[in-house]
Amino acid sequence: MRNSVLFIFLLSLAGLFSCTPAEKADLVILNGKVVTIDKSNPRAEAVAVVDDKIVAVGKNSRIKKYIDESLTEVIDAAGRLVIPGFNDAHAHFGPLNPDYVELRYITDPAVITEKVKEKVAKAKPGELIRGGHWEHEMFTTREWPTKELIDEVSPDNPVALSRADGHSILVNSYVIKNSGITKNTPDPFGGEIQRDPETGEPTGIFKESAKRLLKFGAVQVERTEKENAEREWKGYLMALEKARKLGVTSIQIPGTADWEMYDKILEEGELTCRIDIGGVLTADQERLDEYDVLRMKYPPENTWLRFGYLKGFIDGTLGSGTALMFEPFSDEPDKTGLPQMTYEELEEKVLASDAAGFQIGIHAIGTKGNNWILNAYEKAQEVNGERNSRHRSEHAQLLTMDDLPRFAELGVIASMQPTHCITDKRFCEKRIGIERSKGAYAWRSLLDTGAKIAFGTDYSVEPLNPMEGLYAAVTRKDRRGEEGDGWFPEEKLSMEKAIELYTLGSAYAQFMEDRKGMIKQGYLADIVITDKDLMSVPEREIMKTTVDYTIVGGKIVFQVIVFM
């Protein structure tokens, strides 16, 4: 009798694992090289999705049982790479401006003149000409641009052209005059008016807080309220299209953004990227109360729109020579960077925001800047008590050897953008020398201490394309490619680790590692299929890799259409 019962039980158990699943999938991916980023099940062939979640990951033979020919949409990955959707942990995402003067990657400053001239020819007198992404370290001269480049072609229009890092801006004489700025205007705290060494006159470059002195006096372009609304709406849709074509399924916006617009986009069914929006680091209780209201309206349980972290700035950038350093810059020995607040102000804001239960992310580039925010986070633990705060260093670019282990010790996340490495390495050693450069973009060293890293782009400072970030992380070489093992190659990562930091690492940074960042049963079905196998292609092919499918919440939001 006992043997009969055991036999029936075993037979039922076998049937449980061999029968066709009762629930049929809405979407199935077959024949893929699935890199799950799930350590318990690192590789698979196929994935089944019901509604917005993954219900099964495994071999083709198992997943095919979820297919209903009349219900299930089937993607044949045909051996292509299948990975979690990219989660950009730091992107200044927003509507695209079709009139923006794009200057990224130019090497000849004369291009600035020509592009501004073209835009002025189409503009009304007094209309603001805005553009940027220029990088003077890419110019053949490697010299800062000056207002003389644009004055002659823009006598009747204000012109504002931001450096790629957004921390310096080039303006023309029209703007300088309208702002009432002369050679006698003093530099504000945390800012610099660049001046001609012979005449003392402003060159047109304004750094950090000095940008706040500028008054553009722009003439408003005459458009109806409806035209402005349509233009803004189109700009947001253009940005979302850009993201999904690149496989970006989640974005964490540092600081504030337009909640109402994203609400509207979600309501209209046009939101194809999950968005976190935060606030500004503050000690003001009234403002913290306002953020608390937003946090309740957009709680952590949400999957599309969520309240993120409070963003602060402690310094500038390496490229602009405004990063806060312990020691002077090698190429400007009279400067150690520009703090954006005193340490006392920083500590006050961190203590207040931490006590209110907010996550904090502070822009910190230089060694002293990162040291200061680590000190403030440590003070918050001492005063407010330890909690799972997951405070962040936004960029964590230049670190001392003593501060490297403190990230893990304090539970601070290094929110890093790998393309900054291959952009800034051109001038990093010139700025700070070889020895200090050893602590630059130290991904492997941070991981070896047990620290958590989240990858992103800092878009639009850098391109939104994750492939450039992956290339940077695994090669540490410039975008044109170069001989050798890369810049400080001991800090390079494997491709799988780089993908992990761009998916699960970023999900951890937003407290979502339990439901996002892996291709795993129960997780949100945010998935990307690429045209090349990033795990095996030569490094020169990484940035040429494109996305064939982007899936967000189980819905195909982008796919490459092949016409036979």
CATH number at residue 131: 3.10.310.70
Same domain, 115 and 198: yes
Asked if residues 530 and 81 have their Cβ atoms less than 8 Å apart, the reply is yes
Does the pTM exceed 0.85? yes
Same domain, 19 and 112: no
How many structural domains comprise the chain?
2
Same domain, 113 and 162: yes
Looking at residue 103, what is its pLDDT? 95
Instruction: List the domain range (segments joined by +) for residue 41.
Output: 1-79+518-564
Say which residues have a Cβ less than 8 Å from residue 450's Cβ, sequence separation at least 6. 408
User: 213, 242, 260: which is the final residue of a domain?
Assistant: 213
Same domain, 111 and 196: yes
Q: Is residue 140 part of a domain?
A: yes
**Strand segments (E) across 153-247:** 159-163, 168-171, 191-195, 202-208
Q: Is residue 166 part of a domain?
A: yes
Same domain, 129 and 67: no
Looking at residue 135, what is its pLDDT? 92
Q: Is residue 548 part of a domain?
A: yes
**Distance between CA 60 and CA 75 in Å, rounded?**
12
Question: Which CATH number belongs to the domain containing residue 532 in this structure?
Answer: 2.30.40.10
Looking at residue 550, what is its pLDDT? 98
Same domain, 67 and 116: no
Asked if residues 335 and 321 have their Cβ atoms less than 8 Å apart, the reply is yes
**Distance between CA 428 and CA 420 in Å, rounded?**
11
Looking at residue 224, what is its pLDDT? 85
Q: Is residue 123 part of a domain?
A: yes
**Tokens coding 561:** 């259409």
Three-state secondary structure call for residue 206: strand
Looking at residue 19, what is its pLDDT? 45
**Strand segments (E) across 173-288:** 191-195, 202-208, 248-253, 274-280
Looking at residue 321, what is its pLDDT? 94
Same domain, 66 and 160: no
Residue keyed to tokens 């990033």 = 534
Looking at residue 23, what is its pLDDT? 86
User: 178, 213, 248: which is the final residue of a domain?
Assistant: 213
**Tokens coding 509:** 């940074």
Looking at residue 80, what is its pLDDT? 98
**Tokens coding 476:** 């540490």
- Positions in the chain short of pLDDT 70: 1-20, 562-564
Q: Is residue 513 part of a domain?
A: no
Q: Which candidate, 28, 195, 88, places its Cα nearest to that of 458?
A: 88
Asked if residues 109 and 146 have their Cβ atoms less than 8 Å apart, the reply is no
Alpha carbons within 13 angstroms on the beta-carbon side of residue 166 total: 10
Same domain, 71 and 110: no
Q: Is residue 158 part of a domain?
A: yes
Same domain, 74 and 163: no
Same domain, 75 and 171: no
Q: Is residue 38 part of a domain?
A: yes
Looking at residue 12, what is its pLDDT? 46
Buried b / exposed e along 234-252 (16+ C-beta atoms within 10 A):
ebbbebbebbbbbbbbbbb
Q: Is residue 133 part of a domain?
A: yes
Backbone angles phi, psi at 144, to 5 degrees: -60, 140
DSSP 411-461: T-EEEE-HHHHHHHHHHHHHHHHHHHHTTBS-HHHHHHTT--EEE---TTS
Report the side by side order of strands in the sheet with 168-171. Answer: 101-102, 129-134, 159-163, 168-171, 202-208, 191-195
Q: Radius of gyration (Cα) for the chain, nearest Å?
A: 26
Same domain, 202 and 128: yes
Asked if residues 90 and 394 have their Cβ atoms less than 8 Å apart, the reply is yes
Consecutive H or E run containing 69: none
**Distance between CA 487 and CA 423 in Å, rounded?**
12
Paired with 73 in beta bridges are 27
Helices and strands (H, E) in the chain, number of each type: 15, 24
**Distance between CA 393 and CA 365 in Å, rounded?**
9
Looking at residue 15, what is its pLDDT? 41
Same domain, 49 and 110: no
Say whether the peptide bond before residue 460 is cis (omega within 30 degrees of 0): yes
User: 166, 195, 213: which is the final residue of a domain?
Assistant: 213
* Residues present in the chain in total: 564
How far is the first Cα of the chain from the last one, in angstroms, to the nearest whole number?
Answer: 64
